[in-house]
């Protein structure tokens, strides 16, 4: 049996028929072609599949697509403005926080949720916000530095000072 859901993905309304067992990650990757959402552990432990659901980071492998009905989803593909990277994405590049890249979309989206609610986080807050995202390559220091740099860039863009 299929259920029709109506969701907003990266600012675009989408209606799809899904099974009761289809995860949000499967819908995004397989049906919508948004492959920036990575399939990692399938158990909500690694953070590779993190997306924003109504602005909050969630492990999309653990959210059923039917649970997203009527809600707003942001994937990594929804952050950049045309050819320009979002300031968080740019900070990850500038700080060398990207290595293999598998964890990066989830890290960036977790950082976005953090900076949306706390535009001036300290290192402890950044590490806590990213604690659900595992990285096997970087040792996290450059990722933390990237989030701090993104916070400064976003503040400068708002006319704030740091």
Q: Do 10 and 73 sit in the same domain of this protein?
A: yes
Closest CA to 146 of 118, 133, 127: 127
Residues 119 and 131: their CA atoms lie apart, in Å, by 18
Q: Do 93 and 69 sit in the same domain of this protein?
A: no
Tell me, yes or no, whether 111 lies in a domain.
Answer: yes
How many structural domains does the chain have?
2
Reported as a single tens digit per residue, the pLDDT across 103-141 is: 999 999 999 999 999 999 999 999 999 999 999 998 899
Q: Do 63 and 100 sit in the same domain of this protein?
A: no
pLDDT given at position 77: 97
Give the predicted TM-score (pTM) of the model.
0.94
**Domain final residue pick, 33, 60, 78:** 78
Tell me, yes or no, whether 132 lies in a domain.
Answer: yes
Say which CATH number the domain at 105 has.
Answer: 1.10.150.120
């Amino acid at each position: 049996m299929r259920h029709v859901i109506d969701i907003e993905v990266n600012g675009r309304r989408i209606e799809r028929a899904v099974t009761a067992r289809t995860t949000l990650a499967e819908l995004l990757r397989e049906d919508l072609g948004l492959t920036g959402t990575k399939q990692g552990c399938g158990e909500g432990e690694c953070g590779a599949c993190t997306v924003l659901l109504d602005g909050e980071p969630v492990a999309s492998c653990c959210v059923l697509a039917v649970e997203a009905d009527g809600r707003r989803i942001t994937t990594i593909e929804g952050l950049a403005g045309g050819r320009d990277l979002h300031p968080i994405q740019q900070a990850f590049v500038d700080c060398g926080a990207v290595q293999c890249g598998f964890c990066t979309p989830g890290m960036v989206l977790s950082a976005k949720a953090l900076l949306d609610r706390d535009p001036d986080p300290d290192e402890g807050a950044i590490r806590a916000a990213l604690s659900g995202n595992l990285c096997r390559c970087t040792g996290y220091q450059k990722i933390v530095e990237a989030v701090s740099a993104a916070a400064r860039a976003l503040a400068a863009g708002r006319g704030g000072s740091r």
